[in-house]
Amino acid sequence: MSEGYLRGVDYEDPIVKYRGERISHTLKKLIGKDLPVEPAFLVDSYYTHYLPLPIMRSEEEVSDEGKLMYKFLEMTLSSDAVLSNRNYSVANSAVSMALSISYVQNLIEELERIRKTSQSKEEREAAEQILNGMMRGNKRSGTQQGNQESMEKLMKQVHEKAMSKAMEDANMVKSMQRIIGGNGAGTGSMLNFEGDIHEVLRLSKITEIKKILEFLSGMQKLGSFTRKVSTRYSKGELYGYEKGSDLERIVPSELSMPDEIFYLKLAEAETLLYEKQIRESLGPLYLLLDKSGSMDGEKILWAKAVALALYSRARRENRDFYMRFFDNIPYPLIKVMKNAKSKDVIKMIEYIGKIRGGGGTDISRSVLSACEDIREGPVKGVSEIILLTDGEDKIAETAVRRSLKDAKSTLISVMIRGDNNDLRRVSDNYFSVYKLDHEDLLKIVEA
């Protein structure tokens, strides 16, 4: 690897080389062809975001053929957007990877677009020179050929456009990490999405997913609620103190008392004991989400945001997550286990984003299908079924009640801008939401 432009980076270190190879490999997947971009430039584009205080070499230390890439890095380091984003990118490999890959990708695509379509011959030639200067093995200096002023103007133009798009993509990764529970304490194994960053960047092009994540990213309280269920257990964790006669949990200071006092307190259950509890594991979350024609638009977008927020809660609580969309028929069961890999989570998010409203509504059939999953299918341990719908549908009350009883499950129904008296009667908990804002969403997620 050729020498880069940042001080303190060992460009022969295997980890550093790996970063460059990872970026190059991902660019090939995204652009659809192999581009021989200088590996050192790829590495530097990553470490300008990852390091807390990246310092560039002096310009005198840079060869003539490296001046062009040096200029791009200089613009990156002085960018207000990069500086404001540093709180998230420093030591965050996924965000830094997204920034570097998206930046280089958009830089190349914008230059190629200008080279092919610009009506200005001078601009086309400048784009050609810049592209040549970025590629491995090309010793021509972009900054010394052609019109210097045109080159610098074009470099600034494409840099700003590429960085703007890179920031959008990095925000996507940040949102996914925060919402899915990958960057908070006590969330179990982390999902940082670095290994599947090309899939995340591909998701960033899906408008529906961008809308959902933008809506959820504005919720500061999302992720603060976690339900815990504990049971007293003599070998559990220390929770507090209480009085009693259990010798196994006795506080050592009690043993220092005279025997007659100690035995009196023990007989009267007045000795000081450690209160110990063990945290019980919660069962899986099962979500039924109406995708009928009447749900299309704002309602299904809000319901999808609820689905992701509920998955975020399930992950924080170390629970499996199941979901079915339905209209007049139930759709395939989506399963995301509590130890799911990032690719499984990405697959679920992509599926949620692509579902569109359409079809009729059969609420009874969807609930019966969920109960069948619990009784006979791959779903184990579900005690609550959460139903999101706007449907004014006639409920087969007797069949639904019997099925819920056989599955040993309760039904939590959320009516979206509507009311259904049949559903109200068969539900253990019934909610109506109208505003479809952050407050309504939190009311459901924290219920």
In this prediction, residues 282-294 reach a mean pLDDT of: 92
Residues 273 and 289 in one domain: no
With bands split at pLDDT 50, 70 and 90, how would you rate the model's confidence at 227?
low
pLDDT given for residue 192 in this prediction: 66
Q: Is 348 helix (H, G, I), strand (E, B) or coil?
A: helix
Cβ atoms of 280 and 231 closer than 8 Å: yes
| 266 lies in the same domain as 314 | no
Residue 405: which CATH number? 3.40.50.410
Backbone angles phi, psi at 108, to 5 degrees: -65, -45
Domain count along the chain: 3
209 belongs to a structural domain = no
Are 272 and 305 within one domain? no
Backbone angles phi, psi at 206, to 5 degrees: -85, 115
Position 249 in a domain: yes
Write the pLDDT tens digit of every residue in 337-390: 988 888 899 999 999 999 999 999 999 999 999 999 999 877 888 889 999 999
Residue 380 lies in a domain: yes
Q: Is there a single domain that holds both residue 289 and residue 436?
A: yes
Structure tokens at 304: 């999808």
* 334-336 and 321-326 beta bridge pairing: antiparallel
Q: Which residue has the higher pLDDT, 217 or 208?
A: 208
Of 246, 263, 280, the last residue of a domain is: 280
Domain check: are 236 and 156 in the same one?
no
- State whether 384 and 258 are in the same domain: no
Q: Could you give the CA distance from residue 410 to residue 89 in angstroms, rounded to a whole number?
A: 43
Task: Over range 250-273, report the average pLDDT.
Answer: 84
Could you tell me if residue 153 is inside a domain?
yes
**Assigned domain for 318 exists:** yes
Question: Is 134 inside a domain boundary?
Answer: yes
Using DSSP bridges, classify how beta strands 384-389 and 334-336 pair: parallel, antiparallel or unpaired.
Answer: unpaired
* C-alpha dist (Å) from residue 434 to 167, 299, 395: 34, 10, 22
220's CB contacts (< 8 A; 6+ apart) are: none
The answer as to whether 221 is a domain residue is no
The amino acid occupying position 145 is Q
In a domain, 9, yes or no: no
Domain check: are 55 and 72 in the same one? yes
What is the residue range of 332's domain?
A: 285-445
